Amino acid sequence: MDARLPAPEFPAGLEWVNVSEAPTLSALRGRVILLWFWSYDNVNCWNLLPDLAWLESRYHDGLSVIGVHTPKYPHQRDAGAVLKAVNRLRIRHAVASDADFVLWQRYAVDAWPSVVLVDAEGQVAAVIPGEGRRRDLDQWISRLLDEAAERDLREYGPAMPAQRPEPRMPLAFPGKVLATPELLYVSDSGHHRVLECTHEGRILRQFGSGDPGFWDGRNAECGLNDPQGLALRDDLLYVADRGNHAVRRIRLYGGEVETILGTGEAGRERPRDAEAQRTPIGAPTDLVMVADALYVAASGQHQIWKLDPVRGRVGVYAGSGRLGIDDALAGEASFAQPSSVVASGLQLLVADAATSAIRLVRLADARVTTLVGIGPWEFGDAAGNRDTARLQNPLAIAMDPRGIVFIADSYNGKLKALSLKTGAVRPLNVNYRFNEPGGLGVAAGALWIANTNVHEVVRIDLASGIGKRVGIGE
């Protein structure tokens, strides 16, 4: 057996967000413990969750999974914000908020996500960084459980569940919105469906069964998983089906839902004129139609893709795939988890969440420039020009007909406005409180906001600045 060191115990002051009684390593002797260190803004951490759920099910009688949340942003130091993320991501094991990086340092972790495996005697057996390593984790856990059984140390029985759920409401963590002069479309992401509503909130149609799944169908007889961005062209509604790593198309006339990009698996390829339905894509979060092309923000691959829905062909339009904020032409530029994209004339505007930046992509040659933001570790809450303005993980942008770019400065809980003419950023003074707003739309003289963590959509009258909750489904 490899030489192993004792696993550091959980400190007494650690805050647990979804259990009433703090777990201890000593009480879990005889079980294999999987500690995973994560930050809820990070797409690589999201991608690890299906593997963790699979392992929890496979080894339900000997494995305990425990999450240790370590924040990138100041906003994430709040345990309440972490609990919201735990519920949004449907995590059902105990999660600690390690706001001061105490456990992170004790276990010498240096990357999100990272998994630490602790054997049945409470010793560190392995540290496995990154995502996409289900096979490695499976082999390690199987070996450690067999080892414990051979030495008569193994404790059988299910892991203790952990849950502190959200209140039941008509919406659950709505991600994005799309408004037209007559209608409102809402990605009811936590309910895995897209709603077609009146401006007053009356639901006209539902697309998606309400349970996570990946199958085509009609209206509610199809499966979506964490749907996000929406784009409309004539009677075709395009959906960034993030949890399924796919783009779906809804034919509004008859309600048919079909998959036009993605395979259901997280993508890591960099396609060039590839067959869209056979090409994996990583966590598409938003999309926009310009002329006959659909531009997709592939958050998991830090790129903007271009899809031809008629030919069914797709390729990388801009972004090398490296996480960064490099301004350059097409594939030489870099993004960091682009999460919203809108059209502005002959250019795209991108909310580049992980760099807390707003980027511009020129359609003529795919040249990328930065309008606001400096880098992945330069964030804050400040108005001003490009050199002084600061955002904190912006998740959405929207264009006003007057040339103003509205920004959901999500982790600051604010709305801001960027002038393309002057480059200045200023806060919007509205009489409403926001909690991680994730989607914006402009139509009918109003700004529509998906106030994600409050499970609601808000309408801000652009003339008066007065905000009002839209009673969707009430």
The pLDDT of residue 445 is above 60: yes
Rounded mean pLDDT of 68-87? Answer: 98
pLDDT for res 161: 82
Q: Quick one: DSSP state of residue 212? A: B
Question: What is the assigned CATH class of domain 5-150?
Answer: alpha beta
Q: What is the DSSP string of 71-100?
A: -SSGGGGSHHHHHHHHHHTT--S-EEE-TT
pLDDT for res 159: 86
The pLDDT of residue 1 is above 70: no
* pTM, two decimal places: 0.96
The pLDDT of residue 166 is above 70: yes
Structure tokens belonging to residue 388: 């002084």
Rounded mean pLDDT of 267-271? Answer: 91
Give dist(CA 89, CA 135) in Å, integer: 23
Which fold does the domain 177-470 belong to in CATH?
A: Neuraminidase (2.120.10)
Same CATH fold assignment for domains 5-150 and 177-470: no
pLDDT of 360-408, one tens digit each? Answer: 999 999 999 999 999 999 999 999 998 899 999 999 999 998 889 999 9
Q: Average the pLDDT over each of 83-97, 158-172, 300-314 and give the range with the smallest value.
A: 158-172
Q: Quick one: DSSP state of residue 182? A: S
Question: What is the residue-averaged pLDDT of the chain?
Answer: 96
Give dist(CA 163, CA 160) in Å, integer: 10
pLDDT band at 158 (very low <50, low <70, confident <90, very high): confident
Give dist(CA 461, CA 467) in Å, integer: 6
Structure tokens belonging to residue 150: 């051979």
- Give the other-Cβ count within 10 Å of 175's Cβ: 26
Please name every residue paired with 35 in a beta bridge, in sequence order, or none if there are none. Answer: 66, 116
Asked if 237 and 252 count as a contact pair (C-beta separation under 8 A), the reply is yes
Give dist(CA 243, CA 189) in Å, integer: 9
Long-range contacts of residues 321-326, Cβ cutoff 8 Å, at least 24 apart: 321/270, 323/354, 323/376, 324/355, 324/375, 324/376, 325/352, 325/355, 325/357, 325/359, 325/370, 325/373, 325/374, 325/375, 325/376, 326/368
Give dist(CA 237, CA 254) in Å, integer: 12
pLDDT for res 402: 81
pLDDT for res 2: 62
The full set of domain ranges for the chain reads: 5-150, 177-470
pLDDT band at 474 (very low <50, low <70, confident <90, very high): confident
Burial class (CB in 10 A: 0-12, 13-18, 19+), 165: exposed
Q: Quick one: DSSP state of residue 436? A: S
Residue in 228, 193, 199, 187 with CA at minimum distance from that of residue 459:
199
Rounded mean pLDDT of 6-34? Answer: 94
Q: What dihedral angle (degrees, nearest 10) is formed by the CA atoms of 130, 133, 134, 139?
A: -120
pLDDT for res 462: 93
Rounded mean pLDDT of 207-227? Answer: 97
pLDDT for res 157: 86
The pLDDT of residue 3 is above 80: no
Give dist(CA 453, CA 470) in Å, integer: 15
Residue in 17, 129, 2, 31 with CA at minimum distance from that of residue 77:
17
